[in-house]
């Protein structure tokens, strides 16, 4: 193997015994990996293990203060969770939100990516700089900003809607309309706009980068054969970019399942229980007084398993692209 050959070359004559020991047992790669592995173990693997343990324990306030011992409770946390209507509501909200936001993000991002590819140089730089700024906006700033845009007292959106004719925007009294506390549908409408605004740039820029790799002759040939733009996309662009679209789809699903910062800020901290998605529900169970790490752990496990199923798809898509070689 070419790889081991490197190590067998007369590299550095280190006289130290440690060096000889490392070389003899081929420890170099493990030594290089140890610091990173320690970090990953500390913030990913060990918390993950704890989460699984908690999910089978009655770990709550009395156990935290030491007033009562920690006990194994089997699947009690899971049955409590599955019996809680709030859990099902938050799951529904999470799935519906992803089902709306993911396609919107992907379609708008792809369209902008295709457009960027067709524009002249200057225009392309201008538009990509514009979408880059939306992408650069930190989630906290973006959330606070959209809260203000959709604010009932002085927000721009309500004012604009109230000035529009009824046949266009319905007969709702938009002046002073409260988007964030009226209900989940209204709050998640704002969230969808916000999340699409923040994430379509990534899709657009990635699509553009991928489009640059498609040989122009392919399009030329098809155009001579009389294919229109729609056919060009579905016959040439889509098949070639399909692996990338698949990765983008899976990443978007994972991100939109995970939205925490934006939901936390737009739905008023943890104040509106009927607007919880899974993330907020989990966080609330674990940290709102009285904290229950048992229920939080069970939920985290359920949440992780859902994402793991999606992740398996992601890993398989990456492997198919030869990422592990």
**Cβ distance to another protein smaller for residue 74 or 269:** 269
Q: How far is the CB of 244 from another protein (least distance, A)?
A: 6
Q: How far is the CB of 132 from another protein (least distance, A)?
A: 5
Residue 67 sits at the vertex; the CA angle it makes with 269 and 58, to the nearest 5 degrees, is 60
**Cβ distance to another protein smaller for residue 55 or 184:** 55
Q: How far is the CB of 184 from another protein (least distance, A)?
A: 19
**Cβ distance to another protein smaller for residue 88 or 126:** 126
**Cβ distance to another protein smaller for residue 102 or 131:** 131
Q: How far is the CB of 38 from another protein (least distance, A)?
A: 8
Give the Cα separation of 116 and 219 in Å (integer). 16
**Cβ distance to another protein smaller for residue 153 or 217:** 153
**Cβ distance to another protein smaller for residue 85 or 154:** 154
Q: How far is the CB of 104 from another protein (least distance, A)?
A: 14
**3-state helix/strand/coil string of the chain:** CHHHHHHHCCCCCCCCHHHHHHHHCCCHHHHHHHHHHHHHHHHHHHHHHHHHHHHCECCEHHHHHCCCCCCECCCHHHHHHHCCHHHHHHHHHHHHHHHHHHHHHHHHHHHHHHHHHHCCHHHHHHHHHHHHHHHHCCHHHHHHHHHHHCCCCCCHHHHHHHHCCHHHHCCCCCCCCCCCCCCHHHHHHHHHHHHHHHHHHHHHHHHHHHHCCCCHHHHHHHHHCCCCHHHHHHHHHHHHHHHHHHHHHHHHHHHHHHCCHHHHHHCCCCCCHHHCCHHHHHHHHHHCCCCEHHHHHHHHHHHHHHHHHHHHHHHHHHHHCCCCC
Q: How far is the CB of 21 from another protein (least distance, A)?
A: 15
Q: How far is the CB of 256 from another protein (least distance, A)?
A: 12
**Cβ distance to another protein smaller for residue 29 or 74:** 29
């Amino acid at each position: 193997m070419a790889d081991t050959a490197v190590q067998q070359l007369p590299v550095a004559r280190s006289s130290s015994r440690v060096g000889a020991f490392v070389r003899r047992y081929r420890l170099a790669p493990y030594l290089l990996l140890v610091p990173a592995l320690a970090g990953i173990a500390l913030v990913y693997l060990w918390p993950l293990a704890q989460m699984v343990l908690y999910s089978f324990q009655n770990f709550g306030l009395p156990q935290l203060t030491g007033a009562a011992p920690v006990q194994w409770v089997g699947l009690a946390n899971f049955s409590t969770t599955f019996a809680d209507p709030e859990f099902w509501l938050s799951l529904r909200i999470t799935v519906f939100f992803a089902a709306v936001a993911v396609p919107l993000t992907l379609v708008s991002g792809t369209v902008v990516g295709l457009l960027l590819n067709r524009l002249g140089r200057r225009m392309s730089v201008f538009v990509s700089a514009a979408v880059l700024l939306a992408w650069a906006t930190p989630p906290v700033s973006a959330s606070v900003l959209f809260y203000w845009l959709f604010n009932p007292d002085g927000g721009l959106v309500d004012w604009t809607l109230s000035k529009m004719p009824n046949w266009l925007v319905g007969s709702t009294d938009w002046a002073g309309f409260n988007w964030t506390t009226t209900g989940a549908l209204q709050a998640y409408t704002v969230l969808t706009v916000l999340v699409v605004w923040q994430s379509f740039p990534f899709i657009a820029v990635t699509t553009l980068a991928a489009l640059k790799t498609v040989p122009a002759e392919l399009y030329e040939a098809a155009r001579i054969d009389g294919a229109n733009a729609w056919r060009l996309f579905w016959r040439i662009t889509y098949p070639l970019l399909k692996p990338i679209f698949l990765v983008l789809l899976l990443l978007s699903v994972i991100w939109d399942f995970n939205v925490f910062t934006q939901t936390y800020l737009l739905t008023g901290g943890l104040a509106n229980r009927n607007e919880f998605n899974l993330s907020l529900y989990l966080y609330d169970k674990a940290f709102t007084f009285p904290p229950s790490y048992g229920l939080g752990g069970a939920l985290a496990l359920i949440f992780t398993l859902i994402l793991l199923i999606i992740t398996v798809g992601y890993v398989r898509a990456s492997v198919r692209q030869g990422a592990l070689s």
